[in-house]
Amino acid sequence: MKIAYVSTHLPTQCGIATYTDYLIQGIRKADPASEVKIVAEQGASPIKDDNLEVIPCWDRNENYVDPIISHTKGFDVIHIQHEYSIYNFDDRLPTVLQGLDEKAKKIITIHCVRPAQFSERGAVDENFAARIATLADAVIVHLPTQEAILTRLGVPSKKIHIIPHGTELNDEDKEISRKRLGLPVDAKILLMIGFIKRHKCLHIVLDTLVEILEKFKDVYLFVAGGLAPTASKSDIEYAEFIGRTIEELGLQKNVIYPNKFFPNEDVPYLLSSADIVLFPYYEEDRSASGSFHLAIGAKKPIIASRTPKFEELKNICDELLVLPYNSSGIAAIAIRLFEDSKFRQYVVSRTEEYRNYTSWQAIASQHLQLYQEV
């Protein structure tokens, strides 16, 4: 089978680029005979290998219609990875979908669906998602909430396929990872990972840490990240607020906050170093989280906000989901995970089951099955 992917690609620092790379690695393992081509945005590294080619040939700030159409000719399946910030909301992407080879099957993964009531553009976001879904032969989403919105907007349900976000398996040793990162070897470590942004609610976790320290003294919060290169004024002010709050709460000895970017090669060790990974985010986008799946891949207990982004956690253990801003709820779950070995083992076992179910090779096989069906 000849498959062309339209996406960003590495080394571009973009979640979609990383996602596409993992997916293609899984595809090549599941079906080594497949011929794969990535029609990538500029910034990707060109590759020419056995059955794999990466051609950086388009730019989101220019008219990318002709480059994408010309480089996807002759393929059986053309699979577009969509995210709003990459393709914007104009006529270019719909024009691409209409102009692709008629013999090819057109598939689009819509990574985020933003409801009108939560978008500064009103109904523009959800209507654009419905428009491109209508022009495709098949649509992949990661979550049932995404499917529900597209169905409401008139996209036929038989066209929509829920395939979970993939999971990279990670079996790095916790003690070795902590030594590599200079972390306390014998302590209890809570981890938050990624760029510092207001909606990730780090301030809520600081209140959580205060409560946990009343029970245990050997607990540290490791904030593995810093401000993004494109950080907004609001994010910068929030990071400053976090620094002040750590001092005001007297948490300087229990918060490990290097305030720096960690490269991809450090991520497996960051996650393996943790006892619990926290996602107390508050956002209304319907999209899956790559970091969340990396934590699953490391077999780590997760505590997350009961929001659409982390609805998958109920497939592991619904008791790990808490209402947004509930610092006491996060503390209560963390304390139980530390104290109740049977509960922790149940969570770890369920996490391992779900990581295997969503491994990239398993997810790639689901993609290949869909390609064959269409």
Identify whether residues 30 and 138 lie together within a single domain: yes
Residue 75 has pLDDT above 90, yes or no: yes
Statement to judge: residues 99 and 186 lie in one domain: no
CATH number for the domain spanning 325: value is 3.40.50.2000
Average pLDDT over residues 133-160: 97
Q: Which of 11-15, 18-22, 194-198 has the lowest mean pLDDT?
A: 11-15
Angle (deg, nearest 10), helices 92-99 and 124-135: 10
Q: Is the confidence at residue 230, as pLDDT, over 90?
A: no
Q: Is the pLDDT of residue 133 over 90?
A: yes
Q: Please give the pLDDT value at position 228.
A: 84
- Is the predicted pLDDT of residue 259 greater than 90, yes or no? no
- 62/9 same-domain check: yes
Q: Say yes or no: 204 and 306 in one domain.
A: yes
Residue 86 belongs to what domain range? 2-166+360-373
Work out the average pLDDT over 176-196: 97
Residues 352 and 209 placed together within one structural domain of the fold: yes
**Helix (H, G, I), strand (E, B), or coil: what is residue 55?**
strand
217 in the same domain as 277:
yes
Q: What is the mean pLDDT of the chain?
A: 96
Closest CA to 201 of 328, 305, 292, 114: 305
Which runs of consecutive H residues, i.e. helices, occur in the chain? Answer: 15-30, 65-71, 84-87, 92-99, 124-135, 144-152, 174-181, 202-213, 233-248, 267-272, 290-297, 314-317, 327-339, 341-357, 360-373
Instruction: Verify that 126 and 227 share a domain, yes or no.
Output: no
Contact 38, 7 (CB under 8 A): yes
At 291 the pLDDT is 95
Question: Does one domain contain both 110 and 180?
Answer: no
Q: Is the pLDDT of residue 260 over 90?
A: no
CA–CA distance, 146 with 164 (Å, rounded to integer): 12
Q: pLDDT above 90 covers what percent of the chain?
A: 95
Average pLDDT over residues 157-180: 97
Are residues 178 and 140 both part of a single domain?
A: no
Is 153 in the same domain as 180? no
pLDDT at 209: 98
Distance CA 30, CA 339 (A): 41
Residue 294 banded pLDDT, cuts 50, 70, 90: very high
Q: How confident is the model at residue 263 (pLDDT cuts 50, 70, 90)?
A: confident
The reported pLDDT for the residue numbered 79 is 98
Q: Are residues 225 and 333 in the same domain?
A: yes
Residues 128 and 178 in one domain: no
Distance CA 260, CA 195 (A): 9
Among 222, 205, 219, 209, smallest CA distance to 256 is for 222
pLDDT of residue 261: 84
pTM tops 0.85: yes
User: Domain total for the chain?
Assistant: 2
Q: What local confidence, expressed as pLDDT, does residue 13 receive? A: 82
